Amino acid sequence: MFEFVPLIAFLLIAFSIGSNDTSNAFGICIGCRVISFRKATLLLFALVVVGIFLQGEKVMKTVGRDLVEVDVRISAISMVIAAIVIVFSNFRGFPVSSHQVIIGSLTGTAIAFGAQVSVETLLRIILSWIVSPLVAGVFAVTIFLLLEKLLRKHSLVAVNKILKLLLLFSAIVIAYNTGANELATAMAPVIYAKVFEPFTSAILGAFLLWLGAYVLSARVIETVCKGITALDPKSGLSAHLGAGIAVLGFTTLGMPVSTTYAMIGGIASVGFTKGVKAVRTETLKKIAVNWIFAPLLSFAISFLTTTLILL
């Protein structure tokens, strides 16, 4: 019976990823009225399934084997604590990286159990967390400046139609990454602890992700789309493509990076290109605090909880 604890926690995390990461994939599209909320969540489900089966294995291997050799005990405690932290953060209406929380929980629990943790892998993951929003920002600004130059001679109506189509395409890339990276990270402790069969876990996880997107994603969409800077289709497209390219690259390397923070990096960078006054820096400060606080909190809670259980 204990074996089902990490599975239940994984499904809760998948639900939370849906409530959080619909904003990454389709929030700007919804805000710019390119696609309806209902259609966006259905498309998200399909693309998450494709992503997890095509490229999810590399990220799962990094989290579930290279970082920590998980067993049922480590998986259960770390996933339950990760689920609590993620749900609490989402309830506050601020985007949180499920990667950071899961990695923090896994590391804290493993150290408390005396299990081996790969410091090299952990440092590579942390470096990826730092670099990925910056890379996304560079791509986003480059794309924005290119669009400014290439679309200058076209009519406003034609430009808006082209941008909206490209924006939908970039949203598809982000949604694919949600399965290949976000859901893969959450699946890793369950799969490598041999708690449940991979195919069924992927389908159940994708379904719970869709359900979370449909029921609870509206608040985070509001924060990402309106809380950082005012977005038009050109800015939204630049941020989307920048984040999508960056995360896809890190996914290919097997690094569990946050689509949330890559997206925020892209949005903020485009906003700064327009001028500092175009960016709501107070919102960025709150997000930055969350970025630092979430993995440290999950690590501390997991370590202390495991230590108390073992006493």
The tens digit of pLDDT for each residue in 205-235 reads 999 998 988 886 655 555 555 554 555 677 7
Task: Give the confidence band of 158 by pLDDT, cuts at 50, 70, 90.
Answer: confident
Task: Give the confidence band of 1 by pLDDT, cuts at 50, 70, 90.
Answer: low
Q: What is the DSSP string of 93-137?
A: T----HHHHHHHHHHHHHHHHT--B-HHHHHHHHHHHHHHHHHHH
- Provide the pLDDT for residue 257: 94
pTM for this model (two decimals)? 0.87
Task: Give the confidence band of 123 by pLDDT, cuts at 50, 70, 90.
Answer: very high
- Provide the pLDDT for residue 230: 53
- Provide the pLDDT for residue 97: 82
Higher-confidence position of 38 and 14: 14
- Provide the pLDDT for residue 275: 63
Higher-confidence position of 117 and 284: 117
- Provide the pLDDT for residue 255: 96
List, for residues 166-181, the tens digit of each pLDDT value. 888 988 999 999 999 9
- Provide the pLDDT for residue 215: 80
- Provide the pLDDT for residue 45: 92
- Provide the pLDDT for residue 192: 92
Residue 244 has pLDDT above 90, yes or no: yes
- Provide the pLDDT for residue 79: 94
Residue 243 has pLDDT above 80, yes or no: yes
- Provide the pLDDT for residue 236: 75
List, for residues 276-291, the tens digit of each pLDDT value. 555 666 777 777 777 7
- Provide the pLDDT for residue 2: 66
Range from 30-39, 245-254, 291-300 that averages highest in pLDDT: 245-254
